Structure 1
Amino acid sequence: MKEIKNKQTPIITAHPNAPAKNDSPQVNIIKDQDRELKADEGEDDEEVLDLNKPTEEEGWQSHWPLLTALAILLVMLTLEFGFKYQPPFPFNLIIFSGAFLLAGYNVLGMAWRKAKHFDFFNEFFLMSIATLGAFSIGSYSEGVAVMVFYSIGEWFQDAAVNKAKKSIKALLDIRPDKVTVMRDGKTLVSDPKEIKVDEIIQVKAGEKVALDGELYSDAATFNTAALTGESKPDTKRKGETVLAGMINLDKVSEIQVKSLFKDSKLSKILEMVQDATARKSQTQLFISRFAKIYTPIVFALALLVCFAPYFFTDPYNFYQWFYRALVFLVISCPCALVVSIPLGYFGGIGLASRNGILFKGSNFLDVMTTINTVIMDKTGTLTKGVFNVQEVVTDGFDQKELVRVTAAIESNSTHPIAKAVVAYAGKALGDLKAKDVEEISGHGLKGVVEGKTVLAGNAKLLKKFNIAYPPEVDQLVDTVVVVAIDEKYAGYLTIADEIKEDAKQAIEQMHSLKIQTVMLSGDKQAVVDKVAKLLGLDKAFGDLLPDGKVQKVQEYKNAGSRIAFVGDGVNDAPVVALADAGIAMGGVGSDATIETADIVIQNDQPSKITAAIKIGRITKRIVWQNITIAMVVKVIVLILGAGGVANLWEAVIADVGVALLAILNAVRIQKIKLE
């Protein structure tokens, strides 16, 4: 059977400003005959499949030689065993030879091409020797059966690989090949690659967004399943980010383009997925090395089975032991391992991508099965990274009026906290304006609103103006905006980063998997402790600079922990690189962190961390099931074949059967639904 081979090459994800490598993402997936022809010309021994090309649906028509050979074999077996009739020599040789060539011309051709390069220890040469050997001793029907069923197994294997390939090719279908752009007051249909930054594009209901940008219309609802794995509709407001691959669910919407086609998040996602097949897991590397050692040993053992009995048995029957050696060769074919194992990892990568998780290589699927400690950043990872007003406390003033007055003052600042207050006030602010606004560095703002002098800032601001306030204000954990009106304390607003909806669930899931959870943050320790208590984290460290985070992760590594670090900011990139598995939040994450990470969570949900661990464990479990099944069956039938108990029929059924079983088991990964 054909071997799935992947180049072990480093993963290089394009930087947003880098030129596009090409417009046709390609993946090294499967060895085929054409690659051998290239080898004759001294070219690379890897075929590269273009995922942009439409997938050819191969029906039975394309396999007519194999089906003809199968029909001939069935007719001849019916005559032989049903009617006790066998055509005389040389007619039977001619008929079976025709069937043999129809079924095995590809295998024989591959064996010949490899032999010309002195590569004799491969499954093609092995099967050719076994079947030709069967013909040489007159076992025509068995020789044809070996080649027919071996080729049928290849057919099933090709179908499985195509199915796995389609799951990744489906990603390309979400990238539109045309877009409606507004130019000079007119709408034109254009290629997405020709659209420039800041141009306005139109997306009709049901259409896919082609480029990243900001919503130019007042509001629109999108299906983000292609990017996040979640089918929940997402309503965007004017100015909010819209990404390529989202589907517009309602009216015609206008989007202002903010990045070129090649720089969109979707293009980067596709590049990550295609590159993922280039990194082999340790299990794959082991099986590749094992196959290179295993096959020559099998040839040597087959020779021993054939000739060693000459020295121990009397009389020695060459044809009897030669037949047993042929059985030994057929059952020893390692195709079940070299096909199903890469296919299993390929399925794992596909399952992850459908759940909004991008593994940059199958090796990281293995790594995630060893993780016992997950260390997370706070802002943007466990929290939304967006400040919101949490509480409003007044002292002798109307709450709504306090918010309006404070927002009027804060509207003169661009600070994130000021923006949070203004957003909280919303329409209630109306056209209320502040006059004579003065910024007092490190303290806050002073101004006049509706003839009243207003102070809004931290507690130090009120101390500066000798305004008394309740002592409990100094004990508050969250960021506080303290307000005074006409030199009298009026109340305060607490500002905090909102915890993500599934953050607590994510921590509980990790604990259920016996994984230690740790949080690192640059925020003050009091804030960090509050979040840690709410979420149930095992450990939490605050007041950390980037080098402090690196030091903490190194301490855990030195203690023997296997670490996955999850972050989103530029300052998280060094820690992501240091961890055994670096995980980036891909939605709000920085480009530096996403490029450094081994795994990218597209929808920024912490619960996807446990999903990534589960997918790794599922993949590894199925891969080792295949290894165990293949090795146990092969060892049993090898022993039976060498002892003369198993014949060629049983050998080929065992070989093809275990290969198909392993392939079907590997394909099963793609249909698994995570809880």
Structure 2
Amino acid sequence: MGKSRDLRVFLITYWATLTCSFLLFAGLLLDYFEVSWFVAELRLFWYLLAYFIVGKDVVLSAIKLLFKGGVFNEFFLMSLATFGALYLGEYAEAVAVMLFYTVGEQIQHRAVHRARKNIKDLLDQGPEELTLLHDEGTISKPAKQVSIGETVVYRPGEKVALDGILMGEEAAFDTSSSTGESMPKRISPGDSVSAGFLVLDKSIHVEVTHKWDESATAKIVKMVETAAERKSKSQRFIRAFARVYTPIVVMAAICLVFLPSLLLDYYDFELWLYRAMVFLVISCPCALVISIPLGYFGGLGAAAKNGIFLKGANYLDVLAKVDTMLFDKTGTLTEKKFEISHISFNEGPLSSEEVEKGVFTIASHSSHPISQAIAKRLDKGNSDGKVGITEVAGLGLRATLGEKVFLLGNTKLLQREGVTIPEHMELKENSWTGVAVDGVWMGYFSVNEKIKKEAFATLLKLRELGVQKSMILSGDSPSKVEWMRNALEMDQAFGGLLPEDKLRLLEKEKKTSKTLAYVGDGINDAPVLTLADVGIAMGQSGTDIAVEAADVVIQDDSLEKIPLAIGIGRKTRVIVWQNILLALGVKLLVLALGASGMASLWEAIFADVGVALLAIGNSIRVKNI
């Protein structure tokens, strides 16, 4: 219904503009060649018809606002000025004012439509269809249509779309988006599973406890529809300026008509009325009140086109001034995948080569993410021998390979099995996976999360953009966080933080920074995302709560979009101020010329509608980012 109405309005306006253009230019030609049959009565009817076609909506808007107490607005100014022009017999000029204003409105609406489409396309990337258990097997259904109590089937590698309760067997999940902890978590049947958890080791069944329209993501979809209404400071300034500026120029126009009669010996009412009409047409704040919001809307659309969702035009201004960036670690700077950075083995019951072959065989038979990373690093081809594996929830693997018993896991597993761990390993906290054979310590793998490939380049680009300080605030272990800081050459890093610790550190940084941004994706990031000058959430891996708390959402989790968002904010700001200076500069010049009689209504039309068209064209440039 909405699309068909928009199309109908567009077609009506298009044909009205085309018809009026024909009547105006035909009338100008008939006037120029002084055609005999184009008599005064016909000429008046001809131009009034053209004026009615494009001007009626402006006049009606002025009347409606007049009854609501809104006297000083662009509709009132244009109506007053064109009525004066018609009174003076300047029919073509009166029509031209309305025609070019309508053309400007069409260009603006077209640009807004494109920006809205970019935002809509971004939001339409909702959850895919889910697989549900049914009496006759399984069925597919969109997430938005799934009801409470229905059971959803998720396979390894899929992200839970709706909050629910785990049914059946215990399973492993990547919960880092909620807890900040990089190690997988085992969840038992009957326990809650949150949207955003990533299924790791097996197909699972989850009974839905919250519908899609109750989720934070659904609320975001509603919020985007009013994003443009959250005005930037520049927009609020221009609206306030127009409310003061408009009555001043109306009073100035009245003085321009009557004051000369008190000061001059010879006074020509129609001459000074004409100058006042020129003054009024020039003073219309169309270029400001149209092009500036359009500039910000274009910025929102440009961001959406690049997979960046801003919840208000005001955040374009904030992004442009960011000088301090704080990052969560897991899922933000990392890919939520593991990699082995170092291997160290001792001689014992088996040689180092035999240990490697055995560990590779065991790891190859496990679906655990760390096991998969180990198998990938060792890469011994096909695994040999029969292996019996017992997975110890949250600790690691116990495996029998031939006559040997292998242990592959963390400190708790090895200590529980009576393995003596070297003292120097205690300093490494949990960033390693130990290996033991027949109860004897054989060595370890240093396990780290895989840093996003674009992370270093992004931080370099942010420094080039003037971001003076970058930090990591994470709930993960301090050793892992410090390793990440060194790898990315960041300024500071803090690990082992609870949400309240992150808040405390963020408040401290806000006191010394100009504008602070926080980037995160988890439930534990929601408070700091809210408190930061601008909160940026990873939309793909992020929790609904983080997405709801953030001011900016990166749809595909790419860190490269952060400097791009800052660039869009800065370009939008530059374009908006170009429009302000262009509009005010030209208007002040032509206002002076009009008051002195050196500018006609045609120059006034250029100063008003022409400058508005130029400003609109300038605003549209932001979409090309």
TM tier relative to shorter chain: 0.7 to 0.9
Tell me how far apart the structure 2 counterparts of residues 568 and 321 of structure 1 sit (CA, whole Å): 65
- Pairing 1:462-477 to 2, within 5 Å after superposition: 473=425, 476=428
Q: Which of the numbers 492, 495, 501 marks the counterpart of 2:447? A: 495
The answer to whether 1:643 aligns with 2:583 is no
Contact 1:368 1:581 in 2 (8 A): yes
Aligned-residue offset at 1:181? 8.9
SS at the partner of 1:367? Answer: helix
- Percent of aligned positions with the same letter in both sequences? 40
Match in the other structure for 2:463: 511
- Equivalent position of 2:356 in the other structure: 400
Contact residue 471 and residue 490 of structure 2 kept, 8 A: yes
Matched, 1:484 2:484: no
**Change in CA separation of 1:486 and 1:56 when aligned onto 2, cut-off 3 Å:** same
Deviation of 1:282 after TM superposition, in Å, equals: 1.2
Which one of 544, 550, 555 corresponds to residue 602 of structure 1? 555
Q: Give the counterpart letter for 1:403 in structure 2.
A: V
Whether the 8 Å contact between 1:272 and 1:360 is mirrored in structure 2 is yes
Number of the residue aligned with 2:94: 143
SS at structure 2 position matched to 1:603: coil
Q: Which amino acid aligns with 2:313?
A: S
Query: Could you say which residue in structure 2 is the equivalent of 1:76?
Result: 27
Give the structure 1 partner of residue 107 of structure 2. 156
C-alpha displacement at 1:569, in angstroms?
1.6
Aligned-partner Cα distance in 2 for 1:199–1:54: 39
- After TM superposition, give the deviation of residue 146 of structure 1 in Å: 2.5
Larger mean Cα displacement after TM superposition, 186-195 or 620-629: 186-195
What one-letter code is carried by the residue in structure 1 that aligns with 2:282? I
Residues 191-202 of structure 1: matches in 2 within 5 Å? 194-195=145-146, 197-198=150-151
Q: Could you report, residue by residue, the CA deviation over 1:93-127 in whole angstroms, capped at 9, with x for unpaired residues?
A: 33333332233122222222222223221111111
Paired position in structure 2 for 1:528: 481
**Could you tell me how far apart the structure 1 residues matched to 2:281 and 2:87 are?**
16
AA at the equivalent of 2:534 = A
Shift of 1:658: 0.8
| Superposed CA offset, 1:127-161 (max 9, x none) | 11111111222323322332333333333333333
Equivalent residue runs for 1:178-577 within 5 Å = 194-195=145-146, 197-198=150-151, 262=213, 270-395=221-346, 396-397=351-352, 398-404=354-360, 407=363, 428=383, 432-434=387-389, 449-458=401-410, 473=425, 476=428, 479-515=431-467, 516-577=469-530
Which secondary structure state, in structure 2, belongs to the residue aligned with residue 669 of structure 1?
Answer: helix
Distance in 1, matches of 2:383 and 2:549, equals 44
CA apart distance, 1:195: 4.7
C-alpha distance after superposition, 1:372-395 (max 9, x if no partner): 000111122112234444443332
What is the Cα deviation at residue 487 of structure 1? 3.9
CA contact (8 A) 1:408 1:434 kept: no
2:322 match: secondary structure? coil
Distance 2:392 2:545 in 1: 38
* Contact 2:358–2:401, Cα closer than 8 Å, also in 1: no
Farther-moved stretch of structure 1 (109-118 vs 364-373): 109-118
Question: How far off is 1:58 after superposition?
Answer: 6.4
Q: Does the aligned pair in 2 maintain the 1:565–1:579 contact within 8 Å?
A: yes
Quick one: structure 1 residues 450 and 281, their matched pair in 2 at CA, closer, same or farther if it must change by over 3 Å?
Answer: same
Of the three residues 663, 671, 675, the one matched with 2:616 is 663
| Deviation per residue, 1:514-533 (Å, 9 max, x gap) | 21211122334333222111
SS of equivalent to 1:655: helix
Q: Which whole-Å deviations, capped at 9, do the CAs of 1:64-115 have from their partners, x for residues lacking one?
A: 4443333233233223223476844444333333332233122222222222
Amino acid paired to 1:121:
F
Is it true that 1:634 corresponds to 2:587 in the alignment? yes
- 1:171 CA drift (Å): 4.6
1:358 alignment partner, SS class: strand
Q: Deviations over 1:423-470 (max 9, x none)?
A: 9899848862147x989x9x9777765443444445687688886666
- Assess, with a 3 A threshold, how the Cα gap between structure 1 residues 108 and 408 changes in structure 2: closer, same or farther: closer
Give the equivalent residue in structure 1 for 2:178.
none
Distance 1:498-1:175 versus aligned 2 partners, 3 A rule:
closer
RMSD: 4.0
Do 1:406 and 1:483's aligned partners in 2 also have CA atoms closer than 8 Å?
no
The answer (yes or no) to whether the contact 2:324–2:513 under 8 Å persists in 1 is: no
Residue in structure 1 matched with residue 57 of structure 2 by the alignment: 106
Give 1:420 shift. 6.3
Q: Distance in 2 between matches of 1:297 and 1:265?
A: 47
The CA deviation at 1:613 is 0.8
Provide closer, same or farther for how the CA distance between residues 552 and 385 of structure 1 changes in structure 2, counting only shifts above 3 A.
same
Change (3 A) 1:88 1:478: same
Q: Deviations over 1:198-222 (max 9, x none)?
A: 4689xxxxxxx9x9599xxxxxxxx
The C-alpha deviation readout for 1:595-628, integer Å capped at 9, x for no partner, is 1111111222222211111111111111111111
Which residue identity does 2:455 align to in structure 1? A
Question: Cα gap change, 1:643/1:477 in structure 2, threshold over 3 Å: closer, same or farther?
Answer: farther
- On the 8 A contact 2:132/2:151 being kept in 1, the answer is no
The letter for the 1-side match of 2:322 is I
SS, match of residue 433 in structure 1: strand
After TM superposition, the structure 1 stretch with the greater mean CA deviation from structure 2, 385-394 or 655-664, is 385-394
Q: Is the CA contact 2:434–2:443 (under 8 Å) kept in the aligned structure 1?
A: yes
Unaligned stretches of 5+ in structure 1? Answer: 1-49, 202-208, 215-242, 245-254
What TM-score comes out, normalization by structure 1 length? 0.74
- 1:326, distance to aligned residue in structure 2 (A): 0.3
Kindly indicate whether the alpha-carbon contact (under 8 Å) linking 1:199 and 1:257 is maintained by their aligned counterparts in 2.
yes
Question: Which amino acid is 2:92 matched to?
Answer: S
Shift of 1:277: 2.0
Provide the secondary structure at the position in 1 that maps to 2:259: helix
Letter in 2 for 1:655: D
SS of the equivalent of 1:71 reads helix
Matched letter for residue 279 of structure 1: R
In 1, Cα distance between equivalents of 2:312 and 2:370: 40
Task: State TM-score, norm by structure 2.
Answer: 0.80
Matches of 2:400 and 2:241, distance apart in 1: 80
Q: Distance in 1 between matches of 2:451 and 2:502?
A: 21
AA at the equivalent of 2:606 = I
Structure 1: distance between partners of 2:329 and 2:129: 40
Indicate the SS of the match to 2:71. coil
- Structure 1 pair 670/408, CA: closer, same or farther in 2 (3 Å)? closer
Deviation per CA, 1:282-332: give whole Å up to 9, x if none.
111111111111111111111111112222222122111111010000011
Q: In structure 2, how many angstroms separate the alpha carbons of the residues matched to 1:67 and 1:549?
A: 60
Deviates further, 63-72 or 550-559: 63-72
1:616 maps to: 569
**Higher RCO, 1 vs 2 (CA within 8 Å, ≥6 residues apart):** 2
**Are the counterparts in 2 of residues 212 and 264 from structure 1 also a CA contact under 8 Å?**
no
Question: Alignment partner for residue 94 of structure 1, among 42, 45, 69?
Answer: 45
Contact residue 407 and residue 429 of structure 1 kept, 8 A:
no
After TM superposition, the structure 1 stretch with the greater mean CA deviation from structure 2, 141-150 or 444-453, is 444-453
Q: CA deviation at 1:511?
A: 1.1
Give secondary structure in 2 for the equivalent of 1:277.
helix
